[in-house]
Amino acid sequence: MSVLLELKRLVERPYHRHSRVLSVGGWVERVDNVGGLYLLQILTDSPLSPEPPQFGMVWVPGMEAVPMTLIPAGEDRVAILVRPVGSTTNALAAMRPGKRLMLIGPSGKGLRLRPGTAVVAGGSATTVALAYAASGYRGPYLVATRRASEALALRRLFPSSNEVVTACEDSGCDFLGTAVDAIREGAVDAGAYLIAGPKPMLRGAYTVLRERGVLETSYAVVEVEVRCGTGACGLCRVPGTPYLLCVDGPALPLTDLAAYLGVS
């Protein structure tokens, strides 16, 4: 009997195991203009349950799919923040409720932040901060954009209980300057950071955080060209590291990114 039970235990598992990455159709439920960016609420055919900062490939029928951070928005819903810069993102920005799209994801790994970790997000990566806020993380956050109008519009998307500092290069924000300036000047002071933004911003942050002795506890959300978004094609290598973005990222330990960022 025990042998039979053991054999049963060996074979007892679902025929199709739980998939790490799914393809899920969705319907645009609502579109909000947020200081020139577009926040799309999407009702999905089945739950995706992304954990920040996971992302997904967003397919607009007939167009090339693009990778975007998935913002949790409740059961059977996700949101994406779109900066209209290319043909697909322009098509997304022009979408109206009821339009169809598809999401392939969630890709990469979720990263649970230890309390007190500062999330610093700049440029199109400000969506990473929104994803953490939507998942219940209270901050502190530093949202950095070029224009104050964008930063202030984004600020309104955070729950009022969150600690959010804005930084921009014109007047009107809490801090005048770039994200890196803001970290250097202590606009958000923390023992650990998650930095999300373009490569020059990550490079600057790396140097400042090293000087402050908090590199080992900090992460960066990296952007490289993503082709399949599932980890299958293996083309999303982060140069100078052993990491594949769609498998290991998009958040990676800052200490492992010196070669990628070109800092010595």
Residues of this chain that bind other proteins (CB under 8 A): 7, 10-11, 13, 15-17, 19-23, 25, 57, 59, 61-62, 64-66, 100-102, 104, 226-235, 237, 241-244, 247
- Rounded-to-integer distance, Cα 254 and Cα 31, Å: 35
Q: Which residue, among 110, 97, 107, has the nearest Cα to 43 in the 3D structure? A: 97
Q: Work out how close the CB of 243 gets to other proteins at its nearest, in angstroms, rounded to a whole number.
A: 7
Report the residue number, 162 or 230, with the smaller CB distance to other proteins: 230
- Rounded-to-integer distance, Cα 155 and Cα 23, Å: 31
77: Cβ contacts below 8 Å, ≥ 6 apart? 29, 41, 42, 43, 44
Report the residue number, 213 or 242, with the smaller CB distance to other proteins: 242
Q: Work out how close the CB of 183 gets to other proteins at its nearest, in angstroms, rounded to a whole number.
A: 30
Report the residue number, 77 or 147, with the smaller CB distance to other proteins: 77
Query: Is residue 55 a contact partner of residue 107, using CB atoms and an 8 Å limit?
Result: yes
- Give the position of tokens 């104050």: 148
2: Cβ contacts below 8 Å, ≥ 6 apart? none
Report the residue number, 34 or 226, with the smaller CB distance to other proteins: 226
- Rounded-to-integer distance, Cα 76 and Cα 228, Å: 23
Q: Work out how close the CB of 67 gets to other proteins at its nearest, in angstroms, rounded to a whole number.
A: 8
| Token duo for residue 113 | 């932040």
Report the residue number, 7 or 263, with the smaller CB distance to other proteins: 7
For CA atoms 110, 199, 205, 158, the dihedral sign is negative
Q: Work out how close the CB of 70 gets to other proteins at its nearest, in angstroms, rounded to a whole number.
A: 15
Q: Work out how close the CB of 210 gets to other proteins at its nearest, in angstroms, rounded to a whole number.
A: 24
Report the residue number, 102 or 176, with the smaller CB distance to other proteins: 102
Q: Work out how close the CB of 102 gets to other proteins at its nearest, in angstroms, rounded to a whole number.
A: 6
What is the b/e burial string over 153-172, where b = at least 16 CB atoms within 10 angstroms of the residue's CB? Answer: bbbebbeeebebbbbbeeee
